[in-house]
């Protein structure tokens, strides 16, 4: 196999000697591939973020909730957040105890709240309406709430989750009403949380957000924890040497703020962070096959099986993913050139990368879409009645294990009810 462009995976020894073509032959194309060693490294890095002792990392499972993935995160000693009963369900299956799961709900039904309560999972509510609903269902219970500290950040307006323009969290001006409802239902308010948004590359915005939520925390006595949310970014433009988030600097600044606050609050309360992408993005890539190459005027298109049903991020947020190129034959590519990499979905917008400079791509080449471990498979769909890909892990010893089967045609039609 010829690696026409593989700097990133070579540097981190992503494949550990495994041949991408053999993976595709065995598990089908496209295919999500995860590296266990890199996942474990990321978990450990974040666990050591701060020196403050009562610190816990809740992996944000929405980024990747594959069962085996969660089992590894659990084995590394992290806790998790959940966004739905479905995530709670798979997290329990992965071995997390109810007290390691934090359900950060948003506009949920009574049934969904009851599901969490019955499974002894703590809920964070994010509106007065939802606090009322919780109080009615579980008077005298423990509850947490998501507040909006007013500081938002993120790579796209769709993922900024604090500030004036967002549906999330409670504006602190409603704290008096919030306290009334707590009293009315005799609820014990144990913790507050926030999430400023997804993907910051400079730690200062996060620290600003932390200070804002601590300001809100001062208005409550006897909290058990404060959760600052996720959003820790990763460099998607690795071929351009985009710098990494300075996690050491962020950790030091965070440690200082937490220590001061705990002293002032008079209690060693627990502080939590909730990274999803930082833990999961870089341990995953998406392999796909080039089935057609064509020119339309001056534009070259590489037609692949990586449609936006398989990876939604480029179409949904104009997100950039670096692309590597592998070839089975030993025919070298003469030159690098601009190519638009597209999928096989029946929409013109089905574009993974526009005018990307890549080696001269040919039919049969494999592409590796990098940093696809976060918000990749979890956001895939069966649009056009296509099959969602399998997921495999390259284990630390180099063994490859299947952790999710590829859909079958039966899978995608089994819920239909015929009129015949």
Site for ligand LLP contains 372 (CB under 6 A): no
Stretch that binds ligand LLP, among 216-224, 238-246, 271-279, 335-343 (CB under 6 A): 271-279
Contact with ligand LLP (CB under 6 A) among 123, 169, 196, 199: 199
Site for ligand LLP contains 195 (CB under 6 A): yes
Least distance from C-beta 295 to ligand LLP, angstroms? Answer: 32
Residues 73-92 binding ligand LLP (CB under 6 A) are: 81
Nearest to 374 by CA among 311, 300, 292: 311
Rounded Cα–Cα distance for residues 115 and 416 (Å): 27
Count of residues that interact with ligand LLP, criterion CB under 6 A = 22
Q: Are 230 and 274 in contact (CB under 8 A)?
A: yes
Tokens 């995608």 label which residue?
A: 412
In the complex with ligand LLP, the residue whose CB is nearer, 23 or 94, is 94
In the complex with ligand LLP, the residue whose CB is nearer, 62 or 320, is 62
Contact with ligand LLP (CB under 6 A) among 35, 66, 148, 198: 198
Rounded Cα–Cα distance for residues 385 and 82 (Å): 28
Contact with ligand LLP (CB under 6 A) among 60, 64, 84, 289: 60
Contact with ligand LLP (CB under 6 A) among 38, 104, 258, 367: 104
In the complex with ligand LLP, the residue whose CB is nearer, 195 or 356, is 195
In the complex with ligand LLP, the residue whose CB is nearer, 185 or 375, is 375
Question: CB under 8 Å to 91, separation ≥6 — which residues?
Answer: 61, 65, 70, 80, 82, 100, 101
CA atoms within 13 A on the CB side of 216: 30
Site for ligand LLP contains 359 (CB under 6 A): no
Least distance from C-beta 186 to ligand LLP, angstroms? Answer: 27
Contact with ligand LLP (CB under 6 A) among 149, 276, 288, 359: 276
Nearest to 228 by CA among 257, 201, 248: 257
**H and E: helices and strands count for the chain:** 13, 18
Question: CB under 8 Å to 88, separation ≥6 — which residues?
Answer: 82, 101, 103, 115, 116, 119, 121
Q: Are 245 and 233 in contact (CB under 8 A)?
A: yes
Least distance from C-beta 63 to ligand LLP, angstroms? Answer: 5
Rounded Cα–Cα distance for residues 228 and 232 (Å): 11
Site for ligand LLP contains 63 (CB under 6 A): yes
Nearest to 142 by CA among 157, 155, 128, 125: 125
Least distance from C-beta 118 to ligand LLP, angstroms? Answer: 22
In the complex with ligand LLP, the residue whose CB is nearer, 5 or 313, is 313
For the annotated catalytic residues, the residue numbers are: 346
Least distance from C-beta 362 to ligand LLP, angstroms? Answer: 30
Site for ligand LLP contains 148 (CB under 6 A): no
In the complex with ligand LLP, the residue whose CB is nearer, 168 or 326, is 168
Rounded Cα–Cα distance for residues 215 and 247 (Å): 24
Least distance from C-beta 44 to ligand LLP, angstroms? Answer: 17
Q: Strand 284-296 vs strand 366-369: parallel, antiparallel, or unpaired?
A: antiparallel
Structure tokens given for 216: 């809100």
Structure tokens given for 89: 């369900």
In the complex with ligand LLP, the residue whose CB is nearer, 168 or 220, is 168
Least distance from C-beta 278 to ligand LLP, angstroms? Answer: 6
In the complex with ligand LLP, the residue whose CB is nearer, 24 or 374, is 374
Look at residue 373 and give its three-state secondary structure. coil
Site for ligand LLP contains 375 (CB under 6 A): yes
Residues 211-250 binding ligand LLP (CB under 6 A) are: 229-232
Q: Are 367 and 327 in contact (CB under 8 A)?
A: no
Look at residue 215 and give its three-state secondary structure. helix
Residues 159-188 binding ligand LLP (CB under 6 A) are: 159, 161
Q: Which residues pair with 318 in a beta bridge?
A: none
Tokens 């309406």 label which residue?
A: 129
Least distance from C-beta 275 to ligand LLP, angstroms? Answer: 4
Rounded Cα–Cα distance for residues 387 and 407 (Å): 5
Q: Which residues bind ligand LLP (CB under 6 A)?
A: 60, 62-63, 81, 104, 159, 161, 195, 198-199, 229-232, 274-278, 313, 317, 375
């Amino acid at each position: 196999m010829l690696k026409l462009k593989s700097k990133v995976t070579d540097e981190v020894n992503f494949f550990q000697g495994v041949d991408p073509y053999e993976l595709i032959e065995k598990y089908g194309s496209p295919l999500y591939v995860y590296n266990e060693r890199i996942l474990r490294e990321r978990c450990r890095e974040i666990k050591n973020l701060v020196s403050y002792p009562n610190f816990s990392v809740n992996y944000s499972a929405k980024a990747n909730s594959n069962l085996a993935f969660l089992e590894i995160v659990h084995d590394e000693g992290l806790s998790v957040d959940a966004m739905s009963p479905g995530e709670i369900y798979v997290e329990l299956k992965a071995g997390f105890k109810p007290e390691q799961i934090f359900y950060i709900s948003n506009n949920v039904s009574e049934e969904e709240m009851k599901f969490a309560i019955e499974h002894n999972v703590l809920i964070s509510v994010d509106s007065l309406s939802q606090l009322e609903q919780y109080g009615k269902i579980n008077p005298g219970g423990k509850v947490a709430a998501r507040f909006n500290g007013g500081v938002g950040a993120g790579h796209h307006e769709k993922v900024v989750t604090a500030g004036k323009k967002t549906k999330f969290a409670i504006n602190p001006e409603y704290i008096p009403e919030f306290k009334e409802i707590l009293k009315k239902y005799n609820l014990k308010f144990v913790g507050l949380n926030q999430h400023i948004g997804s993907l910051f590359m400079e730690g200062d915005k996060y620290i600003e957000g932390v200070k804002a939520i601590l300001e809100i925390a001062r208005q409550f006595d006897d909290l058990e924890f404060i959760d600052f949310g996720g959003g820790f970014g990763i460099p998607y433009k690795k071929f351009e040497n985009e710098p990494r988030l300075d996690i050491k600097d962020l950790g030091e600044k965070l440690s200082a703020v937490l220590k001061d606050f705990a002293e002032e609050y008079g209690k060693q309360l627990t502080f939590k962070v909730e990274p999803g992408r930082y833990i999961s993005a870089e341990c995953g890539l998406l392999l796909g096959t080039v089935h057609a190459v064509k020119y339309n005027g001056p534009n070259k298109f590489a037609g692949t099986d990586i449609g936006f049903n398989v990876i939604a991020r480029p179409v949904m947020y104009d997100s950039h993913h670096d692309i590597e190129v592998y070839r089975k034959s030993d025919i070298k590519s003469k030159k690098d050139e601009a190519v638009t990499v597209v999928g096989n979905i029946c929409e013109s917008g089905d574009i993974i990368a526009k005018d990307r400079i890549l080696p001269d791509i040919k039919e049969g080449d494999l592409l590796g879409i990098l940093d696809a471990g976060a918000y990749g498979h979890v956001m895939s769909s069966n649009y056009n009645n296509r099959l969602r890909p399998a997921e495999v892990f390259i284990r630390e010893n180099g063994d490859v294990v299947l952790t999710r089967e590829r859909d079958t045609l039966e899978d995608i039609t089994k819920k239909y009810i015929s009129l015949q």
